[in-house]
Chain A
Amino acid sequence: MHPAPSVIIFTVLSGLGFGMLAFLGIGVLDVQGVAAFMPFAIAFTFAVSGLIASTFHLGNPQRALRAFSQWKTSWLSREAWLSAATLAVMGLYAINVIFRESTIAPLGWLGAALAVATVFSTAMIYAQLKTVPRWNHWLTPVYMLTLSLAGGAILAQQTAAALLLLVCASVAQLLHWIFGDRRFAQQGSNIGSATGLGKLGKVRLFEPPHTGTNYLLKEMVHVVGRKHAQKLRVIAFVSMILLPIAIVATWPGSLAGTVFAAGFFVLGTFASRWLFFAEAEHVVGLYYGKHDR
């Protein structure tokens, strides 16, 4: 899949924002009033800017409200509802914390649940796609959720939770890579089944339907070199998991530590998310002679 900046930014930042909101919702903050403003502002900024980034991917963003209509079937629609609901609930919660210095715990717990659900539904947008075998796996929501919460924990300065979640995320990430690398073959689509001609013999693309490119190729057929991907995986893992663990463990609770840990985490997550897209092979590539091994 084409690693479009808008969707990478969306999933990374909103993941982070909702992850942090989840922690704020369960009341990890020990301050109220103006002092609580910054954490909420940070969480909301991440969540909202992620959501805004996602609209850059739209052909007709002015109609974005319509995306709320199909919650019965569409994960994207559910994500719209859930993110809006999270923002609303958590907004209310935050207003109370900041301006009325009152913590309405049930509201916070609801908001936290909604935040987690939002991230889950974001993940499901990808995980539901049979067409992208690498994503089409229960590990995808696990990968996104653990990362989202790990990031939230770092930002919310929850050392223990952060360390635990980073370890979980590392497992999720590694498994997602390991299983992901095999998913395409497992899932069973190949150029033979794509064309239905596989029964006759070995099929190869002779001529594509057009000599230039098209929307499908730009959007869904992205090929990364193995070596390049390996390198990025190492960078992502180090920056997203190892460095934050080291920093959080070494300087728990320190502001600088949090900033650095979060900084590395975000950079690493961008790399991981870039790979999440770039390495994901859409079955449509088969028609163009791609991904067939």
Chain B
Amino acid sequence: MTELPATTQRKLGLVIDLDTCVGCHACVVACKGWNTENYGAPLSDVDAYGADPVGSFLNRVHSYEIAPTGGGCSQTVHFPKSCLHCDTAPCVTVCPTGASYKRSEDGIVLVDESACIGCGLCAWACPYGTRELDQVAGVMKKCTLCVDRIYNENLEEVDRVPACVRTCPAGARHFGDLGDPDSDVSKLVAERGGFDLMPEQGTAPTNKYLPPRPKDRLTAQPVDISSLTPVAEEPKGFLGWLDKALEAL
């Protein structure tokens, strides 16, 4: 149903910590592995061993460099990106078939593959590049927020989190209800100044990004090096200090 729900009971989503992500692509491949075996058609790879391999992935990690505004050395940021489960998801309203929809109970944006004609319009409407048309199945693929894990009673309670979150070695990915201000993820967003991607697009994304912490402070500001005051200027003096220091032990 391509009408967006007026409100959703919960706003499940991811919070991604750009200060901690080391760019290892673990989340990318865990997602590929889970979603190849679960939800919908397997994620295909075309020309898999050839000159121009193209496969469907629901999560990808870009890397950027930042030249800091105030000068200083370049910073590198690894930047994972999957569907942000937007509140006013333009990908949903453009869909002619109703295959794209946003769930009213938890805000997850999904594609009902059995209804999808593979027109690609939703991918055009998404500013973030998080929908990929599967070249073999001809249906639109996107992050499901692992809807088939997070409620899955065949999984242990601790494992009812998205595959990418479970696997992230650095703990840079957090999953929870961003609609509940008391949830861990909401608190994290509040504490760390979590932000939206391309707010000007008016998509009201659910997923949030935590900014990299300030870097390279040991040159950017006067550093206190008083702890390095020499105990003596002369080598002899050093031994004198040593003697005293040993007495004090």
Q: How does the 8 Å CB contact mask read for B90-126 relative to A, with 1 for contact and 0 for none?
A: 1011111111000000000000000111111101111
List 8 A-B pairs, minimum CB-CB distance, nearest first.
Answer: A59-B118, A59-B138, A284-B129, A209-B60, A76-B96, A77-B96, A67-B96, A66-B97
Find out whether the CB atom of B117 lies under 8 angstroms from the CB atom of A67.
yes
Find out whether the CB atom of B61 lies under 8 angstroms from the CB atom of A209.
yes
Find out whether the CB atom of A195 lies under 8 angstroms from the CB atom of B133.
no
The residue of chain B having its C-beta at the shortest distance from the C-beta of A1 within the complex is B124
Q: Is B75 an interface residue (CB 8 A)?
A: yes
Q: How does the 8 Å CB contact mask read for A37-55 relative to B, with 1 for contact and 0 for none?
A: 0000000000000000000
- Chain B residue contacts of A68, Cβ below 8 A: 96
Find out whether the CB atom of B119 lies under 8 angstroms from the CB atom of A73.
no
Find out whether the CB atom of A212 lies under 8 angstroms from the CB atom of B118.
no
Find out whether the CB atom of B97 lies under 8 angstroms from the CB atom of A287.
no
Q: Given A66-B97, A75-B94 in contact, is the A193-B200 Cβ separation under 8 Å?
A: yes
Find out whether the CB atom of B129 lies under 8 angstroms from the CB atom of A287.
yes
Find out whether the CB atom of B66 lies under 8 angstroms from the CB atom of A197.
yes
Q: Is A57 an interface residue (CB 8 A)?
A: yes
Find out whether the CB atom of B117 lies under 8 angstroms from the CB atom of A59.
yes
Find out whether the CB atom of B116 lies under 8 angstroms from the CB atom of A220.
no
Find out whether the CB atom of A61 lies under 8 angstroms from the CB atom of B120.
no
Q: How does the 8 Å CB contact mask read for A202-245 relative to B, with 1 for contact and 0 for none?
A: 11111111101111101110000000000000000000000000
Give the size of the chain B interface in residues (CB under 8 angstroms). 70
- Bound complex: CA of A192 vs CA of B66, how far in Å? 10
Q: Which of B94, B96, B126, B212: most chain A CB closer than 10 A?
A: B96
Find out whether the CB atom of A189 lies under 8 angstroms from the CB atom of B200.
yes
The residue of chain B having its C-beta at the shortest distance from the C-beta of A54 within the complex is B119
Q: Is A254 an interface residue (CB 8 A)?
A: no
Q: Is B7 an interface residue (CB 8 A)?
A: no
17 A-B residue contacts at CB 8 Å? A59-B120, A60-B138, A60-B139, A61-B117, A63-B116, A66-B98, A70-B97, A76-B95, A125-B94, A125-B121, A187-B200, A194-B198, A195-B64, A196-B195, A197-B211, A203-B65, A212-B52
- Bound complex: CA of A277 vs CA of B127, how far in Å? 17
- Bound complex: CA of A189 vs CA of B201, how far in Å? 8
Find out whether the CB atom of A209 lies under 8 angstroms from the CB atom of B69.
no
Q: Is A115 an interface residue (CB 8 A)?
A: no
Tell which of A69, A199, A282 touches B98, judged by Cβ atoms closer than 8 Å: A69
Find out whether the CB atom of A220 lies under 8 angstroms from the CB atom of B62.
no
**Of A97-105, A129-137, A155-163, A257-265, which stretch is located at the interface?**
A129-137
Q: Is B150 an interface residue (CB 8 A)?
A: no
Q: Which of B1, B57, B125, B209: most chain A CB closer than 10 A?
A: B125
Q: Is B35 an interface residue (CB 8 A)?
A: no
Find out whether the CB atom of B200 lies under 8 angstroms from the CB atom of A219.
no
Find out whether the CB atom of B127 lies under 8 angstroms from the CB atom of A59.
no
- Bound complex: CA of A67 vs CA of B211, how far in Å? 41
Find out whether the CB atom of A200 lies under 8 angstroms from the CB atom of B75.
yes
Tell which of A195, A199, A202 touches B67, judged by Cβ atoms closer than 8 Å: A202
Find out whether the CB atom of A129 lies under 8 angstroms from the CB atom of B124.
yes
Q: Given A61-B117, A130-B127, A197-B77 in contact, is the A204-B97 Cβ separation under 8 Å?
A: no
Q: Is B177 an interface residue (CB 8 A)?
A: no
Task: Report the minimum CB–CB distance from B205 to chain A (whole Å).
Answer: 10
Task: Report the minimum CB–CB distance from A194 to chain B (whole Å).
Answer: 6
Q: Is A293 an interface residue (CB 8 A)?
A: no
Find out whether the CB atom of B62 lies under 8 angstroms from the CB atom of A66.
no
The residue of chain A having its C-beta at the shortest distance from the C-beta of B61 within the complex is A209
Q: Is B232 an interface residue (CB 8 A)?
A: no
Find out whether the CB atom of B54 lies under 8 angstroms from the CB atom of A213.
yes
Find out whether the CB atom of A203 lies under 8 angstroms from the CB atom of B66.
yes
Tell which of A80, A128, A194 touches B96, judged by Cβ atoms closer than 8 Å: A80
Q: Given A76-B121, A131-B201, A200-B69 in contact, is the A209-B28 Cβ separation under 8 Å?
A: yes
Find out whether the CB atom of B137 lies under 8 angstroms from the CB atom of A59.
yes
Contacts A199-B211, A220-B124 aside, 17 further interface pairs with beta carbons under 8 A come to A57-B120, A58-B138, A59-B133, A59-B138, A66-B99, A68-B96, A76-B121, A129-B90, A130-B202, A131-B126, A194-B198, A207-B62, A210-B60, A215-B123, A219-B120, A283-B201, A288-B62
